[in-house]
Amino acid sequence: MDNKTVRRLKAIVKDENVLTELEDRVCYSYDGTFKRGIPAVVVFPANTQEIVQIVKLANEEKIPIFPRGAGTGLSGGSIPQEGGIALVLTRMNKIKEISQEDLLAVVEPGVVVERFHQEVEKLGLFYPPDPASLKTCTMGGNVAENAGGPRAFKYGVTKDYVLGLEVVTPLGEVMRTGGRTVKNVTGYDLTRLLTGSEGTLGIITEITVRLLPKPKDKKTALVIFDTLMDAANTVKAIIYEGVIPATLEIMDKITINCVENHSKIGLPVDAEAILLIEVDGSKNQVQEDIAIIEKVCTANNCRKIEIASLPEDRERLWRARRAVSSAIVQLKPTKISEDATVPRSRIPEMVKRLRAIAEKYRIHLPVFGHAGDGNLHPNILTDKNDPEEMARVEQAVEEIFKAALDLGGTLSGEHGIGVMKKPFMEWELGEVGLDYLRRIKQAVDPNNILNPGKVF
Amino acid sequence: MDNKTVRRLKAIVKDENVLTELEDRVCYSYDGTFKRGIPAVVVFPANTQEIVQIVKLANEEKIPIFPRGAGTGLSGGSIPQEGGIALVLTRMNKIKEISQEDLLAVVEPGVVVERFHQEVEKLGLFYPPDPASLKTCTMGGNVAENAGGPRAFKYGVTKDYVLGLEVVTPLGEVMRTGGRTVKNVTGYDLTRLLTGSEGTLGIITEITVRLLPKPKDKKTALVIFDTLMDAANTVKAIIYEGVIPATLEIMDKITINCVENHSKIGLPVDAEAILLIEVDGSKNQVQEDIAIIEKVCTANNCRKIEIASLPEDRERLWRARRAVSSAIVQLKPTKISEDATVPRSRIPEMVKRLRAIAEKYRIHLPVFGHAGDGNLHPNILTDKNDPEEMARVEQAVEEIFKAALDLGGTLSGEHGIGVMKKPFMEWELGEVGLDYLRRIKQAVDPNNILNPGKVF
């Protein structure tokens, strides 16, 4: 990037907020995937007006902008593929308002999700979205990728909580979408269109989210099964009984063994599946629900069910689930975390197909994830420096996507398309759908400035 | 419309499904507003493929298409303003699937909402959206206008239940959006963009909606207040207590008097406000919630609280609310039903301003609606044949919109923009927002075939 442009950027955000040294730029060249792309420059704006100026400059000089938060994404959505400007929004990290009466909050995009959880919960309020990366990922990134998490089964994903946005358009204008009311049908739903658009349709500079009263009570159950089918039938039966747990997580045998081997918490390594079920609500509600769940699990031949009420006991049960990500990388250094999602009823069939794919391509494929909403996380453990194996992995990934679509599912439940799944979009959306997306992108970003090379 | 075109339309849908006589066309010239527009021809397609052919023909000959369901809309969204084709989707009324396991249903756009409610509830399932017109309005119309209803406070509106759509694009291609999973982040959220787009971005030919388990129990409370402030504070306090009722309806004094005068159910005509509160959930949950609500109402000086558990008793309490629409038209023949929505906390201020506006312009303005989500329904009763009064009404409407926006609200909570609110869009969205909408519309409907003159 020529010095003149760098000087102009420094004039906008001040010298210390522009990084040009290679060793600095490398720090902003990756996300949670194994993809890389070194930006020409890294810029840290302080406010909306600075972003407006940067986007206008980028349009003048036809320089791509790659917005990012904490860079924890799992689809390459924030990777600066073509040089250009890495626009880091972490300085914009104010929680501007939390309203107990209107049950909403207004935040800047750089606010870390866990911190936001803590602040609203202090006031007896609740913001459900809880992606695994919540300790580091930002609200802006969550909106851009429409992040989910275990609680999505009962509470929905990020898009179900975004009421309004302030956005800098691809042409560098400030736009407000939605607002402070849950009901709003004034014009097209740009709030939802921008949520999950992976930084390609606008740069999110302010977010208004809906909050809920914090559930008064919680209980957690860890349930062990000798067959995957029993676990699947249990999920089915719980829903038939009219119980919607806050979380309904599943771990397969490979995952169980990795976790036990890694953190020695006494999981039975011969079990075929573990369900981690958490219910929340009023004291009575939780009591009722857990009783039904216990009945259902027993009726479906669970080997063992352990129920915890006290925070420390619940935490102990959660340890198994939380250890998964760090535990499975023992198998191989490179972790490719997929999130192909199928209708709940197809989970057993999907797991069967994943087993077959793992065997066919001789790869490590532990399966865990959110059984409640069919959002499994088949994780491929491999070594990106072994080209022969990576070739097999690529074929396996393709077959995983084919299987998900074949079972009426989707390529991505919560990680987004980014660059990882781009080649497979047409399988799901068809030519017409892709064309419809492209028309929208071209109409609002004629110079293709915002996050080029993503989604399409 | 020339005979050749009519012949081509008849060739597509068969003669008996094309109406050309004036007296027939007049039947499709209106909706729930006082707006009128007579179509050049009325066409009743039987399936997606017929719609594809009709849309292609319309593009060739540059004829506008005005899709409609039952025509119960309250914003003029389905009125054929410029002649053209009134495309009536009521023949496409199959419920294709109800899945208890995946908690979803697949329906054609012409399915009447009440019928859908009945069918899913037979299976112990629940579809929350409940617009007042549910006995006649269609699922397709509900999606196109993103319909709400009393239960939206706890359960959200139509868009919160639409998982996927089959759509005929403005260029006459078939497109599928979303799918059968709650989690889906593959590409932009076209499902949400199309939901509430009032038939301007595509014609909805199939809808996949999410379902919930049917709540096991319900209780209803009718609460009478001597001051509006006490009623408003009660709403606030209930939410502070962490209770989210399924419905939280309010009626002001004028409404109460209309209802009592109309259906003599013994409402106290000197009361300033009535809250109709319904809680649902498990038996215990409902018990708990109603106890809290009773405590809160008493603490906020309610004059009287009546609680009902049995269906017939609850129905009796609901009679007051259900009578409103038919009761208020005693005042004047023309009813203009607005749905300007404000943040919950601003309801008292909004009601105060509405009172002032009614006085200033000497109009009848009963206020009722969904207090839980700030979605009030100020209804202006007037006579469209009295130009002098209509002039005052127009000014009043403008001030109502100004007041809502001024209090951080929106022009429309659930009725849509259609033609009624078009002139005021820019107040809320600004030039940039409107431009963003227009770019999308132009990009996907270059010939401006679908529902021209609406929204913009």
Residues 347-386 of B with CB under 8 A from A: 370, 373-375
Tell whether A409 is covered by a domain.
no
Residue A420 has pLDDT above 90, yes or no: no
Summary mean pLDDT of chain A:
95
A103 and A197 housed in the same domain: yes
Please tell me the distance in Å from A297's CA to the nearest CA on chain B: 17
Q: Is B185–A196 a contact, with Cβ atoms under 8 angstroms apart?
A: yes
Secondary structure percentages of chain B, helix, strand, coil, to 5: 40, 20, 40
In which order are the strands placed within the sheet that holds A41-43?
A18-19, A41-43, A85-88, A65-68
Write out chain B residues lying below 8 Å of A244, CB-based: 212-213
Q: Is B437 on the interface with A (CB under 8 A)?
A: yes
Taking the CB of residue A118, how many other CB atoms lie within 10 A of it?
Answer: 10
Please tell me the distance in Å from A208's CA to the nearest CA on chain B: 12
User: Hey, of A289, A436, A438, which one would you mutate to test binding to chain B, going by the most B CBs within 10 A of its CB?
Assistant: A436
Strand, coil or helix: B310: coil
B47 and B69 housed in the same domain: yes
Alpha-helical segments (H) within B333-378: 347-360
The contacts of residue A170 (CB under 8 Å, 6+ apart) are: A55, A59, A201, A202, A444, A445, A446, A447, A449, A450
Q: Name the burial class of residue A385, with classes exposed (0-12), middle (13-18) and buried (19+) by CB atoms within 10 angstroms of its CB.
A: exposed
Cα atoms in the 13 Å half-sphere on the side-chain side of A303 = 14
Q: Is A423 on the interface with B (CB under 8 A)?
A: no
pLDDT digits (tens, 9 = 90+) for B143-183: 999 999 999 999 999 999 999 999 999 999 999 999 999 88
Q: Is A180–B343 a contact, with Cβ atoms under 8 angstroms apart?
A: yes
pLDDT digits (tens, 9 = 90+) for B337-353: 999 899 988 998 999 99
- Do B150 and B373 form a contact (C-beta atoms < 8 A)? no
Over residues A428-443, mean pLDDT = 96
Residue B367 has pLDDT above 90, yes or no: yes
Q: Is B237 on the interface with A (CB under 8 A)?
A: no
Residue A168: closest C-alpha in chain B: B432
**Selected residue with higher pLDDT from A182 and A137:** A137
Residues B43, B44, B49, CA angle at the centre, nearest 5°? 100
Q: Name the burial class of residue B255, with classes exposed (0-12), middle (13-18) and buried (19+) by CB atoms within 10 angstroms of its CB.
A: buried
Measured CA distances, B216 to A344, B114, B179, B219, B425 (Å): 23, 19, 28, 11, 42
Task: Select from A100, A174, A183 the Cβ nearest to the Cβ of B432.
Answer: A174
Tell whether B374 is covered by a domain.
no
A193 and A226 housed in the same domain: no
Write down the pLDDT at residue A144.
97
pLDDT digits (tens, 9 = 90+) for A91-130: 999 999 999 989 999 999 999 999 999 999 999 999 999 9
Residue A305 has pLDDT above 90, yes or no: yes
Measured CA to CA, the distance from residue B115 to residue B452 in angstroms comes to 31
The contacts of residue A67 (CB under 8 Å, 6+ apart) are: A78, A87, A89, A140, A144, A199, A203, A204, A450, A451
Over residues A338-360, mean pLDDT = 92
Over residues B73-87, mean pLDDT = 91
Cα atoms in the 13 Å half-sphere on the side-chain side of A178 = 28
Write down the pLDDT at residue A81.
82
A166 and A241 housed in the same domain: no
A211 pLDDT band, cuts 50/70/90, is very high
Which amino acid is residue B73, in one-letter code?
A: G
Task: Select from A181, A242, A416 the Cβ nearest to the Cβ of B373.
Answer: A181
Q: Is A183–B242 a contact, with Cβ atoms under 8 angstroms apart?
A: no
Over residues A46-59, mean pLDDT = 98
Residue A256 has pLDDT above 90, yes or no: yes
Write out chain B residues lying below 8 Å of A104, CB-based: 343
Over residues B240-255, mean pLDDT = 93
B209 and B108 housed in the same domain: yes
Nearest to A456 by CA among A433, A434, A432: A434
Q: Could you list the residue range(s) of the whole structural domain that residue A280 is in?
A: 215-330
- Do B46 and B87 form a contact (C-beta atoms < 8 A)? no
CATH number where B324 lies: 3.30.70.2190
Task: Provide the phi-psi class of B50: left if phi over 0, else alpha when psi is between -120 and 50, else beta.
Answer: alpha
A70-81: burial string, b at 16+ Cβ within 10 Å, e else: bbbbbbbbbbbb
Tell whether B80 is covered by a domain.
yes
Measured CA to CA, the distance from residue B37 to residue B83 in angstroms comes to 7
Q: Is A284–B281 a contact, with Cβ atoms under 8 angstroms apart?
A: no
* Gyration radius (Cα) of chain A, Å: 22
Task: Select from B124, B148, B195 the Cβ nearest to the Cβ of A189.
Answer: B195
The contacts of residue A45 (CB under 8 Å, 6+ apart) are: A12, A13, A17, A51, A54, A87, A89, A91, A92
Spell out where A94-246 has E strands.
95-99, 104-107, 125-126, 162-168, 174-178, 203-210, 212-213, 217-225
Write down the pLDDT at residue A178.
95
State the DSSP H helix or E strand holding residue B337, giving kind and residue range, or none if neither. Answer: strand B334-337
A150 and A245 housed in the same domain: no
Residue A253 has pLDDT above 90, yes or no: yes
Task: Select from B148, B169, B196 the Cβ nearest to the Cβ of A188.
Answer: B196
A46 and A13 housed in the same domain: yes
Q: Is B233 on the interface with A (CB under 8 A)?
A: no
Q: Is B184–A343 a contact, with Cβ atoms under 8 angstroms apart?
A: no
B56 and B111 housed in the same domain: no
Write out chain A residues lying below 8 Å of B421, CB-based: 186
Per-residue 3-state assignment (H helix, E strand, C coil) for B199-233 = CCCCEEEEEEEECEECCCEEEEEEEEECCHHHHHH
Q: Is A213 on the interface with B (CB under 8 A)?
A: yes
Write down the pLDDT at residue B420.
84
Residue B411: closest C-alpha in chain A: A186
Q: Is B189–A159 a contact, with Cβ atoms under 8 angstroms apart?
A: yes
Over residues B50-77, mean pLDDT = 96
| Interhelix angle A283-299/A228-240, nearest 10 degrees | 140
Please tell me the distance in Å from B187's CA to the nearest CA on chain A: 6
A208 and A106 housed in the same domain: yes
Secondary structure percentages of chain A, helix, strand, coil, to 5: 40, 20, 40
Measured CA distances, B157 to A244, B111, B147, B195, B216 (Å): 20, 18, 6, 11, 21
Task: Provide the phi-psi class of B86: left if phi over 0, else alpha when psi is between -120 and 50, else beta.
Answer: beta
Nearest to A238 by CA among A295, A188, A156: A295
User: Hey, of A159, A167, A181, A422, which one would you mutate to test binding to chain B, going by the most B CBs within 10 A of its CB?
Assistant: A181
Q: What is the dihedral of CA A11, A17, A21, A25, to 10 degrees?
A: -120
pTM score: 0.95
Q: Is B236–A160 a contact, with Cβ atoms under 8 angstroms apart?
A: no
| Backbone φ and ψ of B242, nearest 5° | 85, 15
Write out chain B residues lying below 8 Å of A455, CB-based: 187-188
Write down the pLDDT at residue A130.
94
Write out chain B residues lying below 8 Å of A201, CB-based: 188
The contacts of residue B242 (CB under 8 Å, 6+ apart) are: A124, A213, A214, A216
Residue A422 has pLDDT above 90, yes or no: no
Q: Is A52 on the interface with B (CB under 8 A)?
A: no
Over residues B430-437, mean pLDDT = 96
Tell whether A384 is covered by a domain.
no
Write out chain A residues lying below 8 Å of B416, CB-based: 185
Q: Is B189–A187 a contact, with Cβ atoms under 8 angstroms apart?
A: no
- Of A53, A72, A88, at which residue does a domain stop? A88
Cα atoms in the 13 Å half-sphere on the side-chain side of B183 = 37
A414, two tokens = 């919560």
CATH number where A157 lies: 3.30.465.10
- Do B321 and B248 form a contact (C-beta atoms < 8 A)? no
Write down the pLDDT at residue B325.
86
Write out chain B residues lying below 8 Å of A282, CB-based: 284-285, 288-289
Write out chain A residues lying below 8 Å of B73, CB-based: none
Over residues B52-72, mean pLDDT = 97
Q: Is B436–A444 a contact, with Cβ atoms under 8 angstroms apart?
A: yes
Measured CA to CA, the distance from residue A103 to residue A210 in angstroms comes to 6
Write out chain A residues lying below 8 Å of B201, CB-based: 188
pLDDT digits (tens, 9 = 90+) for A63-98: 999 999 999 999 999 999 878 999 999 999 999 999
A153 and A186 housed in the same domain: yes
- Of B66, B88, B110, at which residue does a domain stop? B88
Tell whether A173 is covered by a domain.
yes
Write out chain B residues lying below 8 Å of A216, CB-based: 242
Q: Is B216–A242 a contact, with Cβ atoms under 8 angstroms apart?
A: yes
Strand, coil or helix: B239: helix
A9, two tokens = 């950027």
Q: Is B187–A212 a contact, with Cβ atoms under 8 angstroms apart?
A: no
A203 and A219 housed in the same domain: no
Q: What is the ipTM of this complex?
A: 0.94
Q: Is B387 on the interface with A (CB under 8 A)?
A: no
Residue A284 has pLDDT above 90, yes or no: no
Task: Select from B145, B160, B436 the Cβ nearest to the Cβ of A185.
Answer: B145
Q: Name the burial class of residue A20, with classes exposed (0-12), middle (13-18) and buried (19+) by CB atoms within 10 angstroms of its CB.
A: middle
Nearest to A398 by CA among A19, A390, A444, B338: A390
Q: Is A173 on the interface with B (CB under 8 A)?
A: yes
Residue A347: closest C-alpha in chain B: B102
Tell whether B115 is covered by a domain.
yes
Q: What is the DSSP string of B45-105?
A: --SHHHHHHHHHHHHHHT--EEEESS---SS-TT--TTSSEEEE-TT---EEEEETTTTEE
A300, two tokens = 């479906």
Measured CA to CA, the distance from residue B337 to residue B357 in angstroms comes to 15
Tell whether A286 is covered by a domain.
yes
Percent residues over pLDDT 90 in chain B:
85
pLDDT digits (tens, 9 = 90+) for B292-312: 999 999 999 999 999 999 999
User: Hey, of B56, B123, B180, B185, which one would you mutate to test binding to chain A, going by the most A CBs within 10 A of its CB?
Assistant: B185
Taking the CB of residue A214, how many other CB atoms lie within 10 A of it?
Answer: 15
Measured CA to CA, the distance from residue B354 to residue A380 in angstroms comes to 61
Q: Is A291 on the interface with B (CB under 8 A)?
A: no
Write down the pLDDT at residue B157.
95
CATH number where B36 lies: 3.30.43.10
Residues 185-204 of A with CB under 8 A from B: 185-190, 192-193, 195-197, 201
Residues A435, B166, A413, CA angle at the centre, nearest 5°? 75
Residue A189 has pLDDT above 90, yes or no: yes
Q: Is A282–B285 a contact, with Cβ atoms under 8 angstroms apart?
A: yes
B140 and B232 housed in the same domain: no
- Of B184, B213, B242, at which residue does a domain stop? B213
pLDDT digits (tens, 9 = 90+) for B183-226: 898 899 999 999 999 999 999 999 999 999 999 999 999 999 99
Please tell me the distance in Å from A410's CA to the nearest CA on chain B: 6
Tell whether B121 is covered by a domain.
yes
A387 pLDDT band, cuts 50/70/90, is very high
Please tell me the distance in Å from B408's CA to the nearest CA on chain A: 7
B34 pLDDT band, cuts 50/70/90, is confident
Q: Is A342 on the interface with B (CB under 8 A)?
A: yes
A209, two tokens = 């989210």
Write down the pLDDT at residue A182.
86
The 8-class DSSP code of residue A65 comes to E
Write down the pLDDT at residue B197.
97
Tally of structural domains, chain B: 3
Taking the CB of residue A148, how many other CB atoms lie within 10 A of it?
Answer: 31
Q: Is B436–A169 a contact, with Cβ atoms under 8 angstroms apart?
A: yes
The contacts of residue A119 (CB under 8 Å, 6+ apart) are: A95, A98
Q: What is the DSSP string of B172-207?
A: S-EEEEE-S-S---SSS-HHHHHTTSTTSS-EEEEE
Please tell me the distance in Å from B428's CA to the nearest CA on chain A: 8
pLDDT digits (tens, 9 = 90+) for A350-374: 999 999 999 999 999 999 999 988 9
Measured CA to CA, the distance from residue A400 to residue B222 in angstroms comes to 54
